[in-house]
Structure 1
Amino acid sequence: MVTRDWTTGTIYLSQTITGVLGNFSLLSHYLYLYFIGCKFRSTDLIIKHLTVANCLVILSRGVPQTMTALGMKHFLSDIGCKLMFYVHRVGRDVSISSTCLLSIFQAITVSPRNTLWAELKAKAHKYIGPSVILFWIVNMILNILVPTGVSAKWSEKNVTKKTDYGYCYSITNDKLKEYGRLYAALVLLRDVFFVVLLLWSSSSMVVTLYRHKKQIQYIHGTNVSSRSSPESRATQSILILVSSFVSLFTLSSILHICLTVIRNPSFWLVNTSALLAGSFPTVSPYILMSHDSRVQRLCCACTRNTESHI
């Protein structure tokens, strides 16, 4: 038992440290670009909020799970448990929303000028800021019921189901049962809606890139430069990001459904679900930095941006 707990704690600790370092490195990168006067891209604002949301997810779930696995028990009060779960849900949902917005905006950016997106293409950057703020507000309101189903100690009389996370209990009683079903339905509809948008925008980008590549090959023949444009690299980065998100999110959702359905979920199911929930926030900053040419060039060729879209 001790060996199992220490192994689990080490895995959680490694994921938490890796995720925090990656996301703070990405935020530091943007802070560096700001101080040296680099020109920001329109998608950078979305990525900043995505990074903040990722940090909230990692810290609100990874840190408590690590402390619990390493032997620390009951270190959170009832209010602390409710706050941790609420922050985790808001961060997770903003991460989903931001990833979807990033994919849609890039799909509009790379779309040809002779399509129906032409008019929206010129104005899209103006809607980024209000959209991101709206995501935070809506998700903070939508998750307002999350704290009602969390407790530091299982002291409810009419509890029909509980899930032990080690440091807190997720509970369901007769009073919360009907509200829980309505809430679960709303969350499911929202998540399905965002996944559909992600798949649509990703498919649109793939088709656009394929057509562009065929046109370039037709014009220049076989003598095509192997260097891709910044726009193409950004699109490839977002496609990899979306692919990682959809796969990890699908697995995480399946395990979350299992946690909801199974009356007494096992130790491995609870911990695997928590690890998958933190996987995307951990890997996403590394995907974004690996395809950002400004990280590699340290922004030596950047010029001061006097007309930033942010």
Structure 2
Amino acid sequence: MLVDNHNRKINYLRLAVTDRCNLRCNYCMPSEGIDFVKNDKLLTIEELSTLSEILVGQGIDKIRITGGEPFVRKDLMVLLRNLSKMRGLQDISVTTNATLIGPHIDELKTLGIRNVNISLDAINKATFERITRRDQYEVVHDNLMRLITEGFNVRTNFVVLSGQNTDDILPMLELTKNFDVSVRFLEEMPFNGGSRNFDSIEWDFKKILAFIRKNHPDYYKLESPTTSTSINYKIPGYVGSFGVIPSFSRTFCGSCNRLRISAVGDVITCLYAKPCMNLRSVMRSANTTENVQKLILDAVGSRAKTGFEAQQKYEGVFSNSMTSIGG
């Protein structure tokens, strides 16, 4: 079992498989993209599988595959097949923009991988294309509806952007009226590849909730796990639910159970901290298991208590793009 220096059990790994993405969302990176890493710097699928197995042996029982866009990686399904056979791993999930998942939906179902988070910041086509700078709306919408209707546990992640997509908040909520889906609204974070700097946000989780309450005054709060990053609610008569994630306000730090490893092997103990070590060379040397286990113990043994504490220790952390740190 992994327990950090604040007595928090760490059982959830967010594992990035690539820093590349086929969209260019304007809150995530500049229009020209970022300097993506060379392929030889990425952990191989075999290394990602071995690393996952080591961490499962240390008590990780939930792994979320992230990117970039995970399905940009052509060999992703090999990793997912390996994970699906891993004893002790109870929950495998994927975060995706849903542009490339279509051909893999049947196999995901066969593997028992039913938890899919879809990054979707607009339900209106024009707004979607303006934010993503790509013409992929129909593909995303079709894959979203297929996942919902074929029984996947679908959550959509909607980053609320002042002046860009707030008109889509209520229409996005309507998705929960007839479908068992969770629509989650996230506060914007400053991880955008340096394209914009800010110290505060207009649309924090309190404003999002107040805006929804004006139109749905009878929504009520749901019970959520103590480690949940989202505060979850339901509108009476609606099949699905909605939530808010205070990703900028960071109200959930006290129960954080997450560890992040980037596609190049960087270990990140807090989203608002810089990597504390890199595992790539260790994965390519002798005594891999013992060395990785020791380094992971060292990492979780020196975590910041909150994202605010972590942020104070590092300069330039916001120059990163979310696509490079795995979300």
Bigger RCO of structures 1 and 2 (CA < 8 A, at least 6 apart): 1
Structure-2-length-normalised TM-score? 0.26
| TM-score after normalising by structure 1 | 0.26
Q: Which structure: greater strand fraction?
A: 2
Structure (1 or 2) with the greater helix fraction: 1
The structure whose Rg is larger is: 1
